[in-house]
Amino acid sequence: MVPFEYHILDHAQTEKMLPQIGPDVVGASFCPLDGQVNALRLLRALHVGFQRHGGRYFPDRAVERIEPRGGEFRLHGANVEISAHKIVLAAGLGNALLAAMVGINAPVRPQRGQIIVTEKVAPFMNYVVHTIRQTDEGSVMISDSVEEAGFDISVGSEVLAGRHHSSA
Ligand SMILES: Cc1cc2nc3c(=O)[nH]c(=O)nc-3n(C[C@H](O)[C@H](O)[C@H](O)COP(=O)(O)OP(=O)(O)OC[C@H]3O[C@@H](n4cnc5c(N)ncnc54)[C@H](O)[C@@H]3O)c2cc1C
């Protein structure tokens, strides 16, 4: 195991780092390696980096079938016919179906998560807290739910109105 630095803080130490905490906060754990990335900027950066390295991106080309044949893989779909010697399965939940076609067990399943995103406000959080964090653009993202809702992506105020404890 790789050792990493972490600190267990009491109320006063936590308050020095996050002056907004209330009196009920007993303490906190802190790891200097923790951080966050802005998902929107990350996605853009990944696309730019991918293209700079010669990658070509084909949106809206869902792979429906992978056929391993003669030392290569053939990818089939409504708008896709591609052959390659190596493929990387990075289809998220789609991997549950695709992996089985190349003999890999990838039992991924959906869990729905809802968060509250506020309007942009002046920076006030210097540290990321598990379920409260401020993006570099100023929005505050609050909480997250972990719901067994299958592929249903509908959201509502019920979860957001409740006191929710994340297990992520
Ligand atoms: C509310 C919420 C908050 C979260 N917060 C965090 C967080 O703070 N930190 C963190 O680390 N994670 C977080 N996660 C989890 C994180 O978003 C996922 O774990 C991550 O996006 C999974 O990445 P992935 O590349 O495996 O799959 P995805 O991001 O799902 O990407 C898979 C891609 O493959 C495409 N695809 C699917 N099937 C096919 C197919 N058959 N052919 C071609 N393309 C296909 C999809 O369209 C998609 O673009 C959060 C998730 C939620 C819902």
The pLDDT tens digits of the residues spanning 89-144 come to: 999 999 999 999 999 999 999 999 999 999 999 999 989 998 899 999 999 999 88
162 and 145 in a single domain? The answer is: yes
Q: How far apart are CA 42 and CA 54, in angstroms?
A: 19
pLDDT reported for residue 91? 95
Between the CA of 22 and the centroid of ligand 1 the distance, in Å, is 34
Residue among 93, 133, 145 to mutate when testing ligand 1 (max atoms within 8 A of CB): 93
Tell me, yes or no, whether 72 lies in a domain: yes
Q: Which domain range does residue 1 map to?
A: 1-32
Tell me, yes or no, whether 14 lies in a domain: yes
Q: How many domains does the chain have?
A: 3
- Lateral strand order in the sheet of 132-134: 116-117, 140-142, 132-134
118 and 88 in a single domain? The answer is: no
Closest Cα to atom 27 of ligand 1: 92
113 CB within 6 A, ligand 1: yes
User: Would the pLDDT of 151 be above 60?
Assistant: yes
Which tens digits make up the pLDDT trace of 36-85?
Answer: 999 899 999 999 999 999 999 989 899 999 999 999 999 999 888 999 99
Q: How far apart are CA 25 and CA 54, in angstroms?
A: 50
Q: How far apart are CA 108 and CA 131, in angstroms?
A: 24
HSE value, Cβ hemisphere, 13 Å, CA-based, for 162: 10
Tell me, yes or no, whether 67 lies in a domain: yes
Between the CA of 102 and the centroid of ligand 1 the distance, in Å, is 21
